[in-house]
Amino acid sequence: MSEREERIGVAPPETVAECVAALRTGTVTAAELLERSRARIAALDPEVNAFLGRTDELADRAAAAADRHLAEDPATAPPLCGVPVALKDVLCLEGWETTAGSRILRGFRPPYTATAVQRLLDAGAVVVGKANCDEFAMGSSNENSAHGPVRNPWDLGRVPGGSSGGSAAAVAARMVPLSLGTDTGGSIRQPAALCGVVGFKPTYGRVSRYGLIAFASSLDQVGPLALTVEDAALGYLLVAGHDPADGTSSPTAVEDPLPGLREGVEGLRLGVPREYFGVGLDPGVRAAVEQALDVLRSLGATLEEVSLPTTDAALSTYYIIAPAEASSNLARYDGVRFGLREGRGSLLQTYLRTRDAGFGPEVKRRIMLGTYALSSGYYDAYYRKAQKVRTLISEEFAHVFERVDAIVCPTSPVTAFPLGTRSDPLSMYLLDVLTVPVNLAGLPGVSVPCGMVGGLPAGLQVVAPRFMDARALRIAHAYEQATEWHTLRPGVEAAAT
């Protein structure tokens, strides 16, 4: 028995790599893994609320098919054959309720499946359910879900982060070893940091957005959350690649991150942006990240301070561009073709009543903000100005990447905070300050657990140049393997045993 097995008494495979190995050697079946996943959900999810809906029939069929394949010919089994996964509820799954955490889409059953999801299904994954999230992926605490907040497995009185809070909590609580989230301004990386798991936002255009319910189309990207960087790298590899159904998906070849994952950081130059350690950074998080930088140095990386001077304006830029795109994307919820319909009489009354009743406060706020920024007389001052500042932000990253191979910094300025303590919208927006620049520039970014602050996880963010996704993962992996943060288990465990 390994140390981990002795510690937890029983020896269930937990990571994707462990599950795959156990499935192939026949020490566990896909049906057993699914049963274990369901037992965890049954024991923990009444409190955590990571799942909005279960896809039991689909999961049973997928597990049975996986077990047949593994029994007959394990050598040809696809990479995730029999591995349970969860999908953020903004990803369409044909025939299964997909709500984006919104009342306006309650009961919506998509007529097709998102490309990223289909690729996981083709890889043999067993989809156990749809993960809770902030409504239309708008939020940093998962408190904006119409179906109730997700609670952090490390402390049930605290938020898991957002918007992929359910995807992060489900992995942290070992309900599933892998989930898909989406990241528009930090929505994979920030909840990963707050829940003590790994979250990876790929380069913009690397993963198809077809079948992803759109929030801000120039920023949205699908990515994996997992217990280890290796698992996240595999999840990423499986969903990445060109898709003719998404005109913004890149035709350039995907570099497989796995072969070079263990090459370490010796000789790499890592930039530490001084603006990311400014006011608002929790002293405990700062200390954890600074220790992480020491670890990277001890592994042979060269660290140097760099400057991204426009960082301070990135949040404002984001909170114009993202709501502007959202106000356009969410115009489709009109009570005509799908979802909720309210109001009688004229079509205009249907629009007004449906959208008032169907959207929650944060979504309305952003639609209003975006509509204002795009409206006649304000377009130049807000939207056009923001798109210019966005250019500066991208150029500053490009300039820094002439000198360094990657950037390392905190993922979130704070650890998980108590539910209900950030009711002022601006105070919530400020939490995204270290993640939004990465989306504005379309870069790959990964968050990896880097310490505990007062019993709560902190995250280290690694940002690489466009399409250098494999490099970001390699650096995160080197750090992860030199530390033990990713092996810590959240407090909710006690409730399950």
Partner 1 sequence: MSLTPDEVAHVAMLARLGLDEEETARLAVELGAILEHISKLNQVDTSQVAETAQVGGLVNVWREDEDRPPLGQRAALANAPDSDGRYFRVGQIQEQ
- Residues belonging to the active site: 88, 163, 187
If one counts every other C-beta atom within 10 angstroms of the C-beta of residue 170, the result is 37
- At 304, give phi and psi (nearest 5°): -140, 145
* Omega prior to 163 cis, within 30 of 0: yes
When the beta carbons of 204 and 479 are compared against partner 1, the nearer one is 204
The smaller minimum CB distance to partner 1, of residues 217 and 481, is found at 217
Decide: is 147 part of the binding site for partner 1 (CB under 8 A): no
Least distance (Å) from partner 1 to the CB of residue 188?
Answer: 17
Binding mask 98-127 for partner 1 (x = CB under 8 A): ---------xxx-xx---------------
Cβ contact 29:82 at 8 Å = yes
Which one of 24, 103, 286, 341 is in contact with partner 1 (CB under 8 A)?
341
Choosing from 247, 259, 283, 484, the residue that interacts with partner 1 (CB under 8 A) is: 247
255 binds partner 1 (CB under 8 A): no
- CB of residue 440 to partner 1, shortest distance in Å: 8
Contact 492, 48 (CB under 8 A): yes
| Cα separations in angstroms, 209 against 245, 355, 469 | 9, 24, 17
- Tell me if 425 contacts partner 1 by CB under 8 A: yes
CB of 230 to partner 1, least distance (A): 28
225 lines the binding site for partner 1 (CB under 8 A): no
| Of the candidate residues 356, 398, 421, 488, the single one contacting partner 1 (CB under 8 A) | 356
Q: Least Å distance between CB 136 and partner 1?
A: 14
If binding is defined by CB under 8 A, does position 145 make contact with partner 1?
A: no
Where are the strands (E) in 140-286, listed by range? 178-183, 198-201, 221-226, 269-273
Give me the residue label for tokens 């982060």: 161
Q: Which of 3, 72, 283, 337 touches partner 1 (CB under 8 A)?
A: 337
- Asked whether position 422 contacts partner 1 by CB under 8 A, the answer is no
The residue range among 61-69, 345-353, 404-412, 479-487 that interacts with partner 1, by the rule CB under 8 A, is 345-353
Among 310, 329, 447, 461, binds partner 1 (CB under 8 A): 310
Among 69, 355, 474, 486, binds partner 1 (CB under 8 A): 355
Among residues 107 and 418, whose Cβ is nearest to partner 1? 107
Task: Name 189's Cβ contacts closer than 8 Å, sequence gap at least 6.
Answer: 183, 199, 200, 201, 411, 412, 435, 438, 445, 446, 447, 459, 461
Report the DSSP pairing between strands 198-201 and 445-453.
antiparallel
Q: How far is the CB of 110 from partner 1 (least distance, A)?
A: 8
**Beta-carbon neighbour count of residue 51 at 10 Å?**
23
| Smallest gap from residue 120 Cβ to partner 1 (A) | 23
CB of 106: closest distance to partner 1 in angstroms?
Answer: 11
Q: Which of residues 376-405 bind partner 1 (CB under 8 A)?
A: 382, 384-392, 394
Give the total residue count for the chain. Answer: 497
Closest Cα partner for 288 from 193, 389, 396, 374? 193
Contact 468, 406 (CB under 8 A): yes
Measure Cα distances from 290 to 283, 297, 438, 443 in Å: 10, 11, 20, 23
Site for partner 1 in 62-81 (CB under 8 A): none
Q: Does position 339 bind partner 1 by CB under 8 A?
A: yes
At residue 151's C-alpha, the angle toward residues 149 and 157, to 5°, is 110
Among 258, 365, 487, 496, binds partner 1 (CB under 8 A): 365
Instruction: Give the binding-site size for partner 1 (rule: CB under 8 A).
Output: 71
53-61, 74-82, 129-137, 314-322 -> range binding partner 1 (CB under 8 A): 314-322
Q: Which stretch binds partner 1 (CB under 8 A): 57-65, 171-179, 346-354, 450-458?
A: 346-354
CA 22, chain centre distance (Å) = 27
By CB under 8 A, tell whether 91 contacts partner 1. Answer: no
**53 makes contact with partner 1 (CB under 8 A):** no
Query: Looking at 59-67, 176-184, 297-305, 357-365, which segment touches partner 1 (CB under 8 A)?
Result: 357-365
- The two structure tokens encoding residue 400: 């820094």
Contact between 286 and partner 1 by CB under 8 A: the answer reads: no
Does 434 bind partner 1 (CB under 8 A)? Our answer is: no
User: Closer to partner 1 at the Cβ: 301 or 441?
Assistant: 441
Q: Which residues of 381-402 are buried (b: 16+ CB within 10 A; e: fewer)?
A: ebbebbeebbebbbebbeebbe
Q: How far is CA 230 from CA 169, 182, 234, 270, in A?
A: 19, 19, 6, 21
Distance CA 316, CA 70 (A): 51
Least separation in angstroms between residue 462's CB and partner 1 is 19
Q: Is residue 97 within the footprint of partner 1 (CB under 8 A)?
A: no
Q: How far apart are CA 397 and CA 362, in angstroms?
A: 30
Nearer to partner 1, 244 or 455 (CB): 244
Site for partner 1 in 203-222 (CB under 8 A): 204-205, 218
Identity of the residue, 172 or 386, whose beta carbon is nearer to partner 1 in the bound complex: 386
Binding flag, residue 317, partner 1 (CB under 8 A): yes
- The DSSP annotation for 280-299 comes to T--HHHHHHHHHHHHHHHHT
